[in-house]
Chains A and B, each alone.
Chain A
Amino acid sequence: MSLTADQASTPGGRTRVDRRQWTRLLAAASSGARGRLGLALTAVVVLAAALGPVLAPYSATQFVTTPFAKPSAQHLLGGDDIGRDVLSRLLAGGWVLLVMAVAATVIGLVLGTLAGVSAAYLRGRWDGIIMRTVDIILAFPTIVFALLLVSVVGPKLWLIVLAVGVSHAPQVARVMRAATLEISERDFVKAVELWGVRSWTVMRSEVLPNLSSPLMVELGLRLTYSIVIISGLSFLGFSQPPPAPNWGLMINENRLGLVANPWSVVVPALMIALLTIGTNTFTDAVGRLAIGVGRGSEETAVAGGLAGAVMMGELQQFPLDEGVIEDPEATESREPAVD
């Protein structure tokens, strides 16, 4: 209620946005077919990874069958390269990947938002200095940057998380900088500035809350990308040391038995694929809502920009013109609450 009252008292041409914008965005995204599919896929994999260690029928590290045994009643997915139960390793081997991916995403979002928002806020010389400095990281492909650090300190999990997180920063910074610049030109921000409110306060209370839709999209894209990179690194052998189970590592270990027991490779690969398809599809649904598909050329921004360029991590400007979801129903439904 206080929010709506607040909203009413705010001068300016465009309506000020609800601070709970992101919850509405997520709710709207999950109600569409695309979003529901993405959410369901993600939920299945996350549940399997989270509950898996409890449900696993055997130990993930003990030899309970013959190497590359075919699937049987005792071992539903057969045996792996040295005779461990594939299903048990599969169930036990997901949660570390998930935790690492989430941590890397958070680091990337925090660093990138700090850099992008301060660059947009400070403008002028500092803008250039901050953005050019952050851009240097772009010269390293993410996986190469991670390998460079790993080559020195060894495959420590925190180091991989940090490397992937830092690699996200430039793309997040670009998007957040563009979004901040765009929002600070809006009338309601100008109006508050004219009242003489201090810049940092304007930043915190007017601009930042409105960055939630680009931030949500970035969150999804960076999460997908984190999963891709971190599972890729574990495929290369840079993750938990063996014999710890890990989907990426399982694929690598069991490749030799692709003919004898294909399931030992296919199922971990499928888990990673379902997870990334799930997060990416949901992000796509959020992105379409956040930008507003079907409003002329913005569709091109979605098709090429979002899933394409942002995923590649290079989007220069987030097309934020319709970044504020203006859902008339949502506004109406809140109306009675005022009195």
Chain B
Amino acid sequence: MAQLALDGAAVSSRRWRDGHPILWLALSRTLFGVLTLLAVSVIVFAATTVLPGNAAKAILGQTATPARVRALQLQLNLDHSVWYRYWAWLTDTARGNFGISYAARIPAWQVVGPRLANSAVLVLLAGVIGTVIGVGLGALAAVRRGGRADDVLAIVSLGVTSLPEFVVGIGLVIVFATTFWHLLPAVSLVAPGSTAWQDPSVLVLPGATLVIVIVPYILRMTRAATIEALESDYLENARLKGLSPRRLLLVHALPNAIPPVVQVIGLNLLYLAGGIVVVETLFAFPGIGQGLVNAVDDRDVPVIQLTVLLLAAFYVFVNIVSDVVSLLASPRRRLPRS
């Protein structure tokens, strides 16, 4: 009987899943995302607090009196068990209490928050511009397949995908900021308390660097997916019907290229989360990437923890969104299975 009931539950849950594929995907991905974040929190905690190194001494410096070291150890719960400390840290973090920055002596959130806004603007800008350019050039390469434009794009994108971001960035600085022209600031100076978008010129070079780095990937995937669609039977049929090439591309081929391209755009956003570390440092752009490098130099554990957790949360979020969007863009998979 119990077995029967279990079977019944399994069948009905499968039925529900088949009836609501999008909801099912979103829910299961969210659940998995939460588990991933928990695992990430364990790794972050373990790396920053369990590994050797006397945290209290590191914070107070060599001249600290034993009494102050002891007081700080108590404050950091260092005399409790690892599990207790992890739980205390996790619950604090979940409540939005991220600790006090060792270097700035203010709550870590106040250190990271303004930087987060600057980085978000930079990543969003680079992501949108990079996507538009990448999809446009990719469709162009697909339509002109085998032509000169296609060849040039293929060679250039192979070259650019090989380059580290800081090499691209240095190249842009040499061309646009120092040696050839002096059009743009080589260093993104942003006064404390103001934000990056109040002086958009500081966004140009870091943004352009990121755009150049992500465009080849989007271009290649768009080209590949568009060619696959252009060569399909249904498109042959549409062509034989006498539809114009423009209509073939825009209405019939490109929409079918959306799912893989969305995945690649998602991957590029994730890539940007790492890429900003080097690019922001190169241009002294006040974002979380540069903040992370500074925090690592200062061993500012709360800021490091918060930054890494934010980046991991971004990873989980982008993964969920890109999966759901590419499902929404493939009607065949979207329909409830009957």
Residues of A near B307 (CB, < 8 A) are 144
How many angstroms between the C-alpha atoms of A279 and B275 in the bound complex? 21
Please determine whether A232 and B315 come into contact, CB atoms closer than 8 angstroms.
no
- Chain B 254-279, CB-CB to A under 8 Å as 1, else 0, gives 00000010011001101101110110
Residues of A near B311 (CB, < 8 A) are 139-141, 144
Please determine whether A281 and B164 come into contact, CB atoms closer than 8 angstroms.
no
How many angstroms between the C-alpha atoms of A151 and B228 in the bound complex? 46
Please determine whether B158 and A258 come into contact, CB atoms closer than 8 angstroms.
no
How many angstroms between the C-alpha atoms of A269 and B167 in the bound complex? 6
Partner of A308, one of B47, B163, B221, B274: B221
Q: What's the nearest-Cβ distance from chain B to residue A283, in Å?
A: 9
- The interface residues of chain A, by DSSP majority, are classed as helix
How many angstroms between the C-alpha atoms of A167 and B93 in the bound complex? 25
Known A-B contacts A277-B162, A280-B162, A284-B158; A269 and B170 likewise in contact (beta carbons under 8 Å):
yes
Tell me if B36 is interfacial: C-beta within 8 Å of chain A. yes
By size class, the interface of chain B is 35 or more
Partner of B220, one of A280, A281, A304: A304
How many angstroms between the C-alpha atoms of A308 and B224 in the bound complex? 10
Among the listed stretches B71-79, B171-179, B235-243, which one makes contact with chain A, having 4 or more residues with CB under 8 Å of it?
Answer: B171-179
Please determine whether B165 and A304 come into contact, CB atoms closer than 8 angstroms.
no
Report the nearest B residue to A302, measured CB to CB.
Answer: B224
How many angstroms between the C-alpha atoms of A332 and B66 in the bound complex? 80
Partner of A151, one of B48, B157, B270: B48
Residues of B near A312 (CB, < 8 A) are 217, 264, 267-268, 271
Among the listed stretches B106-114, B195-203, B289-297, B328-336, which one makes contact with chain A, having 4 or more residues with CB under 8 Å of it?
Answer: B289-297
Tell me if A297 is interfacial: C-beta within 8 Å of chain B. yes
Please determine whether A140 and B40 come into contact, CB atoms closer than 8 angstroms.
yes
Report the nearest B residue to A306, measured CB to CB.
Answer: B220
Residues of A near B178 (CB, < 8 A) are 258-259, 262
Residues of A near B296 (CB, < 8 A) are 147, 150-151, 238
How many angstroms between the C-alpha atoms of A305 and B171 in the bound complex? 28
- The interface residues of chain B, by DSSP majority, are classed as helix
Tell me if A235 is interfacial: C-beta within 8 Å of chain B. yes
Partner of B273, one of A141, A251, A259: A141
- Chain B 41-62, CB-CB to A under 8 Å as 1, else 0, gives 0011001100111000000000
Which residues of A80-121 are within 8 A (CB) of B?
none
Tell me if B299 is interfacial: C-beta within 8 Å of chain A. yes
- Chain A 205-229, CB-CB to B under 8 Å as 1, else 0, gives 0000000000000000000100110
Which residues of A282-320 are within 8 A (CB) of B?
284, 296-297, 299-301, 303-305, 307-309, 311-312, 314
Residues of A near B161 (CB, < 8 A) are 280, 307-308, 311
Partner of B293, one of A228, A236, A299: A236
**What are 5 A-to-B residue pairs whose CB atoms are below 8 Å?**
A147-B277, A151-B304, A235-B164, A300-B225, A304-B223
Interface residues of A (CB under 8 A from B): 132, 135-136, 138-144, 147-153, 224, 227-228, 231-232, 235-238, 248, 251, 255, 258-259, 262, 265-266, 269, 272-273, 276-277, 279-281, 284, 296-297, 299-301, 303-305, 307-309, 311-312, 314
Interface residues of B (CB under 8 A from A): 32, 36-37, 39-40, 43-44, 47-48, 51-53, 154, 157-159, 161-167, 170-171, 173-174, 178-179, 186, 216-217, 220-221, 223-225, 227-228, 231, 260, 263-264, 267-268, 270-271, 273-275, 277-278, 281-282, 292-293, 295-297, 299, 301, 304, 307-308, 311-312, 315-316
3 interchain residue pairs of minimum CB distance:
A141-B274, A304-B224, A300-B224
